[in-house]
């Protein structure tokens, strides 16, 4: 009797312990089978801890032959000792194996100690998550975040070996991914920690509300003064050296007496951040380079719009922060190019995309939720866990703000048919499918709900190759109304992560009285 053996191997990548834990499962054919956020299952925003429901969802696609961890925890402990985080440094109950093992025992699977467990460098995982999901055969990679083990900024050269495999259609994807670090800056010199410290200073939550600070910056008035005062935090004489360790925050009196508002301070911080990032790109990449930009700072879409002009092509994987490094760890263990088909990799609610239901609700109520199919991997709602609205009404922004229970100054983003994007926005390229850059709106009077105070919008272009349901929705909406775009924001209850399942969607409907189509 002949018994066939399943040739498929599975690689599980995990990230946890700092913020926004995640899990990714890929197979030995380069398919990304699952990638999700711990927060969507626990309901705790930016949850740093893994949980059983997340692991169960990942393992429903296959049992791993290898487990990959997103950082070198021993090297990280040396930095924790240096920074005075003694309790964390000597707490060996938080080793990767001890964090992982309970979730496998719960499933009755082989304990992780009998499955190979591999740890990779924090910034290397960021780099791999970007490069191995990109279309590039070779690239420069820039990683900027709050902190890894020690690195806070790193630049890498990446390629596939042997190089000729990458250019031959029959062997493309079979070469091994190779990485060489060519530049780095180490703790406490950290752009990410600086931006988080300013976030905390203006009364927001660090490591969570940085995107709100970015939105506040558009309302700043005293730009030059704010820029100079922010820069003083970082400079020694005329050089940016991060003279103070901002890990513990900024002195409460730092900006007192300057007359600067919180919006001015935010504007100054944004300008300083853009200058620092520009310097990194100018020194390390050229306009002929394909560039991958990763790390939490790569979520700064205002800066990204500026950086795209410094390279040939720019790729930012839609989840460039720590959760996305679960994918990077798995990618490193797999070792080859991944088959990137889009960010819809999380929990699967099933069902066809409810195009007609959504349009019916938009025509009737102007605002509708949608929760269907697979959740987005990354912090941005891209159509499957979204709150959508007609962007043309003068009252729409205020109505959505009331539903979202959020500050009125914060902007909303549009999703638009790609072929119409240049008619409405001053686009630098043809596509921006993951809301990673901002562009000036040419027609703010027509679409007031999606234009920020500085006249820009964080655009999501939708091509014929992107999510078929979202594309069909926009095509039908345009046919019926002549409007090629919709307001698109995340479907979440205030203070909670995005809706993940039908139960979450029902709670949203009950709380806010907004129909959620599935």
Which pLDDT score is estimated for 500?
98
Q: Is the model more confident about 363 or about 245? A: 363
* Arithmetic mean of pLDDT over the chain: 92
Q: What's the pLDDT band for 257 if we cut at 50, 70, 90?
A: confident
CB atoms within 10 A of CB 408: 8
User: What pLDDT does 2 receive?
Assistant: 44
**b or e along 442-465 (b: 16 or more beta carbons within 10 Å of the residue's beta carbon)?**
eeeeebbbbbbebebbbbbbbeee
| pLDDT in the model for residue 8 | 85
pLDDT tens readout for residues 434-472:
999 999 999 999 999 999 999 999 999 999 999 999 999
Please give the structure tokens belonging to residue 307.
Answer: 């950086």
515 contacts 407 by C-beta, under 8 angstroms: no
Q: Residue 283 in 3-state DSSP? A: helix
> How far, in Å, CA of 73 to CA of 211, rounded?
28
Q: Which residues of 103-133 are buried (b: 16+ CB within 10 A; e: fewer)?
A: bbeeeeeeebeebebebbbbbbbbbbbbbbb
CA distances from 453 to 225, 248, 410, 421, 432 (A): 20, 32, 9, 20, 21
Are 329 and 351 spatial neighbours (Cβ–Cβ below 8 Å)? no
**pLDDT level of residue 3 (50, 70, 90 thresholds):** very low
pTM equals 0.95
What pLDDT, in 10s, does the model give residues 188-240?
A: 899 999 999 999 999 999 999 999 999 999 999 887 888 888 888 887 555 55
CA dihedral for 223, 229, 235, 238, sign (positive or negative): positive
Please list the helix, strand and coil fractions of the chain in percent, rounded to the nearest 5, in that order. Answer: 40, 20, 40
- Enter the tokens of residue 366: 């102007």
Packing angle of the helix pair 262-284, 223-232 (nearest 10 deg): 70
pLDDT number for residue 124: 98
3-class DSSP state of 120:
coil
Enumerate domains of the chain plus CATH numbers. 8-70+73-119+325-341 (3.30.420.40), 124-321 (3.30.420.40), 345-517 (3.90.870.20)
Give 122-136 pLDDT, tens digit per residue.
999 999 999 999 999
- Contact status, residue 67 vs residue 115, Cβ threshold 8 Å: yes
Q: Which residues, including other chains, have CB under 8 Å from residue 483's CB and lie 6 or more apart?
A: 390, 391, 392, 477
Residue with tokens 């690195």: 151
Q: Are 108 and 185 in contact, with CB atoms under 8 Å apart?
A: no
Query: Is the bond leading into 188 cis (omega within 30 degrees of zero)?
Result: yes
440 class by beta-carbon count within 10 Å (0-12 exposed, 13-18 middle, 19+ buried): middle
Residue 377: its pLDDT value, please? 98
Q: The dihedral of CA 37, 147, 381, 376: what is its sign?
A: negative
Residue 347 CA to residue 501 CA, distance in Å, equals 8
Show the 3-state SS of 128-193: HHHHCCCCCCEEEEEEECCCCCCEEEEEEEEEEECHHHHHCCCCCCCCEEEEEEEEEEECCCCHHH
Burial environment of residue 3 by CB neighbours within 10 A (0 to 12, 13 to 18, 19 or more):
exposed
Is the bond preceding 162 in cis, omega lying within 30 degrees of 0?
Answer: yes
Asked if 155 and 183 count as a contact pair (C-beta separation under 8 A), the reply is yes
Strands 374-376 vs 385-389: parallel, antiparallel or unpaired: unpaired
> Cβ of 167: how many Cβ atoms within 10 Å?
11
7 burial type by CB count under 10 A (0-12 exposed, 13-18 middle, 19+ buried): exposed
pLDDT average, residue stretch 103-116? 73
| Both structure tokens of 514 | 């907004």
Query: Tokens 């079979």 belong to which residue?
Result: 174
- φ/ψ of 107, rounded to 5, equals -85, -5
Packing angle, helices 262-284 and 191-201, rounded to 10: 170
Residue where the block lists tokens 């949203």:
508
**pLDDT score recorded for residue 504:** 97
């Amino acid at each position: 009797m002949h018994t066939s053996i399943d040739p498929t191997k599975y690689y599980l990548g995990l990230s946890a312990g700092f913020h926004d834990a995640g899990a990714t499962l890929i197979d030995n054919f380069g398919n990304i089978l699952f990638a999700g956020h711990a927060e969507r299952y626990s309901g705790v925003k930016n949850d740093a801890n893994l949980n059983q429901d997340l692991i169960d969802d990942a393992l429903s696609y296959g049992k791993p032959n290898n487990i990959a961890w997103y950082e070198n925890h021993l090297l990280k402990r040396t930095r924790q000792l240096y920074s005075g985080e003694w309790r964390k440094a000597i707490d060996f109950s938080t080793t990767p194996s001890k964090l992982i093992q309970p979730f496998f025992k719960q499933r009755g699977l082989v304990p992780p100690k009998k499955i190979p467990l591999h740890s990779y460098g924090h910034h290397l995982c960021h780099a791999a998550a970007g490069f191995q999901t990109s279309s590039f055969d070779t690239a420069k990679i820039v990683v900027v975040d709050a902190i890894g083990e020690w690195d806070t900024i790193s630049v890498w050269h990446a390629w596939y070996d042997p190089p000729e495999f990458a250019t031959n259609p029959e062997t493309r994807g079979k070469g091994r991914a190779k990485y060489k670090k060519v530049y780095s800056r180490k703790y406490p010199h950290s752009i990410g920690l600086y931006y988080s410290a300013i976030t905390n200073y203006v009364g927001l939550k660090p490591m969570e509300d940085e995107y709100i600070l970015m939105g506040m910056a558009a309302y700043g008035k005293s730009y030059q003064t704010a820029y100079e005062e922010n820069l003083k935090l970082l400079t020694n004489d005329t050089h940016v050296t991060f003279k103070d360790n901002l890990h513990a925050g900024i002195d409460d009196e730092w900006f007192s007496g300057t007359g600067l508002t919180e919006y001015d301070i935010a504007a100054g911080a944004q300008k300083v951040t853009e200058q620092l990032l520009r310097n990194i790109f100018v020194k390390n990449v050229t306009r002929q380079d394909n560039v991958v930009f990763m790390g939490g700072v790569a979520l700064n879409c205002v800066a990204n719009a500026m950086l795209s002009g410094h390279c040939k092509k720019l790729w930012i994987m839609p989840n460039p922060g720590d959760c996305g490094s679960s994918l990077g760890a798995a990618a490193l263990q797999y070792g080859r190019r991944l088959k990137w088909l889009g960010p819809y990799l999380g929990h699967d609610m099933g069902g066809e995309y409810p195009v007609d239901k959504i349009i019916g609700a938009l025509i009737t109520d102007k605002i509708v939720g949608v929760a269907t199919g697979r959740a987005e991997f990354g912090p941005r709602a891209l159509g499957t866990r979204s709150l959508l609205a007609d962007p043309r009404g003068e009252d729409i922004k205020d109505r959505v703000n009331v539903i979202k229970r959020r500050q009125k100054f914060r902007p909303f983003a549009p999703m638009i048919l790609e072929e119409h994007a240049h008619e409405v926005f001053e686009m630098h390229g043809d596509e921006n499918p993951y809301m990673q850059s901002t562009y000036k709106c040419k027609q703010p009077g027509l679409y007031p709900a999606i234009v920020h105070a500085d006249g820009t919008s964080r655009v999501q272009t939708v091509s014929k190759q992107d999510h078929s349901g979202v594309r069909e929705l926009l095509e039908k909406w345009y046919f019926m109304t002549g409007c090629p775009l919709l307001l698109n924001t995340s479907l979440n209850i205030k203070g909670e992560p995005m809706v993940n399942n039908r139960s979450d969607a029902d709670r949203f409907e009950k709380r806010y009285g907004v129909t959620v189509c599935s």
